[in-house]
Amino acid sequence: MAVATRPTTRSGRGYPDLREHLDALDRAGLLVRVRRPMLAETEIHPLVRWQYRGGLPEEDWRAFLFEDVRTVKGGASPFRVGVGVLAASKYVYATGLGCKPEEIASRWEHALANRIAPTIVEDGPVHEEVHMGDALLAKGGTAEFPIPISTPGFDNGPYTTCTHWFTKDPETGVRNQGNYRGQIKSPTRIGIFPSGLGQDVYIHWQKARKKGQHLPAALVIGGPPVVSYAAVQKVPYGIDELSIASGLAGEPIRLVRCKTVPLEVPADAEIVFEGYINTQELEEEGPFGESHGYMHPRQLNPFFEITAITHRKDAIWVSFISQVTPSESSVIKKVAYEPIFTQHLRQTCNIRSVKRVVMHEPLTNLRKLIVIQMANGAREAEIWRALRAASSFNQGVGKVCVAVDEDIDPEDATALWWAVCYRSRPAQDVEITGHLEKGHAPPFRGTGIEQAAEGRDVVGHGDPADDSGMLINACLKEPWPPISLPTKEHMENALRIWNELGLPKVRPQLPWYGYSLGQWDEELEEEARLALRGEHFVTGEKTARRRVKLSDTRAARPDAFIGTDPVPGTPVDPRAAEHGPGGPGYDDEAPREVPNDDGM
20-62 pLDDT, tens digit per residue, is: 999 999 999 999 999 999 999 999 999 999 999 998 999 999 9
What are the boundaries of each domain within the chain? Answer: 9-319, 349-443+466-473, 488-567
Maximum distance among all Cα pairs of the chain, rounded to whole angstroms: 111
pLDDT above 70 coverage of the chain, percent: 87
Residue 237 has pLDDT above 70, yes or no: yes
The pLDDT of residue 14: 84
CA–CA distance, 144 with 272 (Å, rounded to integer)? 13
Q: Does residue 234 have a pLDDT over 60?
A: yes
CATH of the domain spanning 349-443+466-473, picked from 2.60.120.10, 3.40.1670.10, 1.10.20.60, 3.40.50.300: 3.40.1670.10
- Interstrand relation of 400-404 and 467-473 (parallel, antiparallel or unpaired): parallel
CA dist 440 and 455 (Å) reads: 21
- CA-nearest of 521, 512, 520 to 489 is 512
Q: Cβ contacts of residue 414 below 8 Å, gap of 6+? A: none
With a cut of 80, say whether residue 538 has pLDDT above it: yes
Residue 139 has pLDDT above 70, yes or no: yes
pLDDT tier at 233 (50, 70, 90 boundaries)?
Answer: confident
Q: Is residue 398 scored above 90 in pLDDT?
A: no
Q: Which residues contact 402 (CB under 8 A, 6 or more apart)?
A: 369, 370, 371, 372, 416, 419, 420, 471, 472, 474
Mean predicted confidence (pLDDT) in 217-231: 96
**pLDDT score recorded for residue 11:** 62
| Calculated CA dihedral for residues 189, 72, 147, 83, nearest 10 degrees | 170
Whole-angstrom CA distances from 209 to 201, 218, 280, 451, 510 are 12, 18, 7, 20, 54
pLDDT of residue 457: 47
What's residue 133's pLDDT? 97
Q: Report pLDDT for 566.
A: 54
Q: Which of 99-113, 450-464, 551-565 has the highest mean pLDDT?
A: 99-113
For residue 402, which phi and psi values (nearest 5 degrees)? Answer: -125, 130
Percent of the chain surpassing pLDDT 90:
68
- Superfamily of domain 9-319 in the CATH hierarchy: Electron Transport, Fmn-binding Protein; Chain A (2.30.110.10)
Single-letter amino acid code for the residue at 159: Y
- Looking at residue 460, its pLDDT comes to 46
**Mean pLDDT of all residues in 186-197:** 84
Candidates 112, 111, 177, 124; CA nearest to 18 is 124
Q: pTM score, two decimals?
A: 0.80
What's the rounded mean pLDDT across residues 97-105? 93
Give the confidence band of 13 by pLDDT, cuts at 50, 70, 90: confident
Q: What is the pLDDT of residue 349?
A: 94
pLDDT at 111 over 70: yes
- The amino acid sitting at 18 is L
Per the model's pLDDT, the better-predicted residue between 128 and 563 turns out to be 128
Residue 369 forms beta bridges with which residues?
400
Angle at 573 between CA 570 and CA 579, to 5 degrees: 120
The angle formed by the CA atoms of residues 166, 170 and 176, to the nearest 5 degrees, is 25
**Can you give the pLDDT at residue 459?**
43
Distance CA 285, CA 190 (A): 9
Phi-psi region of 153 (alpha: psi -120 to 50; beta: other; left: phi over 0): left
**Average pLDDT of the segment spanning 590-594:** 51
Pairing assessment for the beta strands 63-66 and 80-83 based on DSSP bridges: antiparallel
Q: What is the DSSP string of 466-493?
A: -EEEEEEE-S-SS-BPPPSS-BHHHHHH
Question: What is the DSSP annotation of 28-68?
Answer: TT-EEEE-S-EETTTTHHHHHHHHHHS---GGG--EEEESS
E strand or H helix at 241: helix 241-249
pLDDT(228) > 50: yes
How confident is the prediction for the chain on average, in pLDDT? 87
According to the model, what pLDDT value does residue 597 have? 46
pLDDT grade, residue 578 (50/70/90)? very low
Task: Give every CB contact of residue 398 below 8 A, 6+ residues apart in sequence.
Answer: 367, 368, 370, 390, 391, 392, 469
Q: Are strands 369-374 and 400-404 parallel, antiparallel or unpaired?
A: parallel
Give the CA dihedral 13, 19, 23, 29, nearest 10 degrees.
130
pLDDT confidence of 563, banded at 50, 70, 90? Answer: low
pLDDT tens sequence across 400-441: 999 999 999 999 999 999 999 999 999 999 999 988 877 777
Q: In this structure, are residues 163 and 182 in contact, taking their beta carbons and an 8 Å threshold?
A: yes
User: How many residues belong to the chain?
Assistant: 600
**Contact status, residue 92 vs residue 30, Cβ threshold 8 Å:** yes
Residues paired with 255 in a beta bridge:
120, 266
Q: At what angle do helices 328-343 and 90-97 cross, to 10 degrees?
A: 70
**Each residue of 52-90: pLDDT tens digit?**
999 899 999 999 999 999 999 989 999 999 999 999 999
Rg, Å, the chain Cα set: 31
Angle at 406 between CA 402 and CA 407, to 5 degrees: 105
Residue 501: is its pLDDT beyond 60? yes
Instruction: Identify whether 508 is preceded by a cis peptide bond (ω within 30 of 0).
Output: no
Least confident of 23-32, 323-332, 333-342, 447-456: 447-456
Specify whether the CB–CB gap between 402 and 420 falls below 8 A: yes
Closest CA to 289 of 146, 158, 450: 158
- Average pLDDT rounded to a whole number, residues 254-262: 98
- What is the CA 266 to chain-centroid distance, rounded? 27
**How large is the average pLDDT for residues 192-197?**
71
